Structure 1
Amino acid sequence: MQKYRKVPWQRNLRQVPAAILNKIQHLPTDAFVVGCVKTLTASQLTDPFGHLAPPGELDAASDVLPPANMGLYSERNTHGWVEKRKDLPKITKTFYWESPNFGDAATYGTHLHFHDRQVYQTEYHEPRLYKIRTKLLKMATGPVGGGVYQITVDQPLLRSQKDFEKELLFILNLLQENCGEVDVFSDGASAEEIISTLSLDWDVFPPGTNEDIVRHFIGGRQLPAGKAGVVAERVKLFSLLKPNAYLKGKGTFGNYIGARYADDLVVFENMDYGNALYILYDDWAEVSKRSRLDLIRGTDATFDRLVHSYGWEQAFGKIMKREKRKRGLV
């Protein structure tokens, strides 16, 4: 079975085209966006570009998360990705799995096993969740219908940004997979506005009742069905191990929640993505200054990632008790 949807264009770029880099250096602003302008017929709006907007709505300005089956970068944009670093020394990690009691889970239930072993270090990349924005610039007047459309990725970049070419290649490939063409344009956003879309700012507040913490985490946000219950469950889990502070991302990053147990023992989760909890062992003063894309920096030698599979809460408790003992907190 074919993993990715067939497209009538080259799917990916191996490197940033020299013409794109040259154009970026000559743009009148430091800020720019990846996008293109395409003339599409009415039939093309259905196939192959129908995935860029809800059915029948390409003529209205719209933002969509590109389908993961459009290609490797669309898949990574939605689900994130993992890199195993065999070039680095192995580290010790805790693994857990479920086993039936007396060989019969249906009758006697199950229990968890825990085991520490040496493994290669791993780099985890959270999903970018970039959206593609489509805007009708000019309606066609001929019999084929359609019009001229601007198609852009909704994450602007700064050419003065450190290592911007790495993220540029990701965004170029995301657009290439979804419309078969790439270009760059000046963006009207200020450097401060763009940095605010990448940089996390944290609200740090002291422990209180679980109900107070949940209210602070939610902060009047309209959460999807069931999400408020998940926030309450996380607060209950965090509070059992007595943190000295709770953490919440500010502004557009209010989906990040966590708790601090020591300057080098912090846990957090992205509730919008919500498939794993991270335990960080770096210094909080340094962690708090990282950008969203840099929050899990380097490899898992300095953090643990607990995917929300069966038994992850028990594994969290086991790891945290071990780490608190190391720091003389229990």
Structure 2
Amino acid sequence: MANKYRAVPWKRNLKTIPEHILAQIAAFKSDVFFVGVTKTFSPDEIDSKPLKQLQIPKEEGRSHETIPPANMGKFSDRNRNGWEVVRDDLPKTTKTYFWETPNFGDASRYGTHTHYRVREVYQREFHEPRLYSILAHTLKVNTAGACVALLRVKQELSRSTPGFESDLLLMLNLLQENCGAIGVVSSDTPIADYIKTITLDWEVFPPGDAAEVVERLTRGGTYRADVRSKIDERVRLFSKLKPSAFLKGSGGFGSYIGAKFADDLVVFENVQYGNALYVLYDDWEDISKRSRLELLKGTDAKFDRLPHRSGWDEAFEKLLRSEKKKRGLK
């Protein structure tokens, strides 16, 4: 079986955080730091695979930012696409599966009917894509054209954040997979400014005309045409189900839009990433206080994730109508 990852001339992954990295972090005066390393690259290395995808500038003082492709390794894949963990250490939970079957074998003439099946399954913990980028900044170019470059994962980390070591290991592996070296760099960022980059600032808008809602959700931001089109589609989909409010969550990791139908029935999607819609059943008060990374770190007993496969929007409508009915909502 062919390896799904690109060949690299260096060790691809780290199983644990090296002790010298932890010692460096402990010695930093600031709680906030970057995963980054300074390394010299020859012109041939810069122009050849696997380093070519980082587009390291050949001029001093220039920078280039890249989200590494998923085929650079397991952690590059997780960074791009997210990952699931089967929690076989937790009690099983019941999950309802439903699907459509044609009536009399011909859906076009006789329609369809819905089947339901309840099963006990292990809870799953879904980790949303981080979408961390690697910033390549060329510090010096010698007479032979070799570049001394600082490569760092652009998102900062704080050692005072609970469980920060798991994200540190992911970032170290992201750097290792893409350049074959690791390190950490202290940051002068105040902890208050760092916190702003990982939390979501939620705004709540009343329902209204779809065009007005889209204008409110996109106000103050710059969105590509395809992202704005996606926002318009979601607003029209949510509007069909009569939400009590529309939601906009923005932070250092991108933007979210969504809708609130009850305090314990909220739907949203990351429009910058956008490969799945989430239906959360936690209290809205709790949701509003979560950081972006905490928002979906849990089990599917608390939320449903609907990947954008064929028919997802119809499945979403049926799910929402069912959940609204349980809550006595029209």
TM-score (norm 1): 0.91
Please say if residues 199 and 252 of structure 2, whose CA atoms lie closer than 8 Å, have aligned partners that are also in contact: no
Please say if residues 256 and 270 of structure 1, whose CA atoms lie closer than 8 Å, have aligned partners that are also in contact: yes
Please say if residues 127 and 297 of structure 2, whose CA atoms lie closer than 8 Å, have aligned partners that are also in contact: no
Please say if residues 206 and 246 of structure 1, whose CA atoms lie closer than 8 Å, have aligned partners that are also in contact: yes
Please say if residues 54 and 68 of structure 2, whose CA atoms lie closer than 8 Å, have aligned partners that are also in contact: yes
**Distance in 2, Cα, partners of 1:303 & 1:328:** 20
Residue 314 of structure 1: how far off its partner (Å): 2.0
RMSD of aligned alpha carbons = 2.2
Aligned residues: 325
Residue equivalent to 1:141:
143
User: Residue type matched to 1:208 in 2?
Assistant: G
Residue equivalent to 1:223:
223
* Matched residue SS, 2:11: coil
Change (3 A) 1:270 1:23: same
Q: Gaps (5+ residues) in structure 1? A: none
Residue 183 of structure 1: how far off its partner (Å): 0.8
| Matching of residue 190 in structure 1 with residue 190 in structure 2 | yes
Residue equivalent to 1:150:
150
**Distance in 1, Cα, partners of 2:30 & 2:158:** 9
**Distance in 2, Cα, partners of 1:260 & 1:16:** 41
Please say if residues 269 and 277 of structure 1, whose CA atoms lie closer than 8 Å, have aligned partners that are also in contact: yes
Please say if residues 248 and 254 of structure 1, whose CA atoms lie closer than 8 Å, have aligned partners that are also in contact: no
Residue equivalent to 2:39:
38
Residue equivalent to 2:210:
210
**Distance in 2, Cα, partners of 1:108 & 1:294:** 46
| Matching of residue 162 in structure 1 with residue 162 in structure 2 | yes
User: Residue type matched to 1:195 in 2?
Assistant: I
Residue equivalent to 2:245:
245
**Distance in 2, Cα, partners of 1:7 & 1:217:** 43
Please say if residues 103 and 113 of structure 2, whose CA atoms lie closer than 8 Å, have aligned partners that are also in contact: no
Residue 5 of structure 1: how far off its partner (Å): 0.7
**Distance in 2, Cα, partners of 1:322 & 1:312:** 15
Change (3 A) 1:112 1:220: farther
Change (3 A) 1:182 1:91: same
Alignment deviations for residues 35-74 of structure 1 (CA, whole Å, 9 cap, x no partner): 00101111111224211127xx454301001111110000
Alignment deviations for residues 120-148 of structure 1 (CA, whole Å, 9 cap, x no partner): 22111111000000011111123xx2221
Residue equivalent to 1:121:
123
**Distance in 2, Cα, partners of 1:168 & 1:239:** 40
Please say if residues 4 and 71 of structure 2, whose CA atoms lie closer than 8 Å, have aligned partners that are also in contact: yes
**Distance in 2, Cα, partners of 1:212 & 1:138:** 50
User: Residue type matched to 1:201 in 2?
Assistant: D
Residue 101 of structure 1: how far off its partner (Å): 6.8
67-76 vs 240-249, greater mean Cα deviation:
240-249
**Distance in 1, Cα, partners of 2:299 & 2:164:** 20
Alignment deviations for residues 64-98 of structure 1 (CA, whole Å, 9 cap, x no partner): 01111110000110111112222333333343456
User: Residue type matched to 1:269 in 2?
Assistant: E
Residue equivalent to 1:26:
27
* Matched residue SS, 1:274: coil
Residue 109 of structure 1: how far off its partner (Å): 9.9
**Distance in 1, Cα, partners of 2:73 & 2:294:** 24
Residue equivalent to 1:4:
5
Change (3 A) 1:290 1:61: same
| Matching of residue 298 in structure 1 with residue 298 in structure 2 | yes
Change (3 A) 1:226 1:135: closer
Residue 2 of structure 1: how far off its partner (Å): 1.9
Residue equivalent to 2:17:
16
* Matched residue SS, 2:304: strand
% identity of equivalent residues: 50
Change (3 A) 1:58 1:74: farther
* Matched residue SS, 1:161: coil
Please say if residues 198 and 252 of structure 2, whose CA atoms lie closer than 8 Å, have aligned partners that are also in contact: no
240-249 vs 309-318, greater mean Cα deviation:
309-318
**Distance in 2, Cα, partners of 1:254 & 1:87:** 32
Q: How does 1:83-94 map to 2 (within 5 A)?
A: 83-94=85-96
Please say if residues 256 and 269 of structure 1, whose CA atoms lie closer than 8 Å, have aligned partners that are also in contact: yes
* Matched residue SS, 1:25: helix
Residue equivalent to 2:133:
131
